[in-house]
């Protein structure tokens, strides 16, 4: 049972890392935040973080 829990935790953290790939956190920042905090908090941080690409006029 615990193996499934940890595999799911890591898989969700990986998905959050992919979401944060285009933000200032980057893949590893989002992945590590999700692993050490929770994937839910990692998702909230990912959705509120700024994009790498700034609007150029």
Model confidence pLDDT, tens digit, residues 3-57:
999 999 999 999 999 999 988 888 999 999 999 999 899 889 888 888 877 655 5
Residue 56: the pLDDT is 58
Question: What is the rounded (10 degree) CA torsion for 27, 49, 34, 8?
Answer: -80
Residue 50: the pLDDT is 82
CA distance 50 to 52: 7
Q: How many CA atoms lie within 13 A of 12 on its CB side?
A: 18
Is the whole model's pTM more than 0.85, yes or no? no
């Amino acid at each position: 049972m615990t193996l499934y829990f940890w595999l799911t935790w890591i898989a969700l953290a990986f998905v959050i890392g992919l979401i944060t790939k285009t933000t200032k956190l980057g893949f590893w920042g989002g992945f590590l935040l999700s692993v050490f905090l929770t994937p839910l908090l990692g998702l909230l941080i990912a959705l509120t973080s700024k994009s790498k690409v700034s609007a150029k006029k």
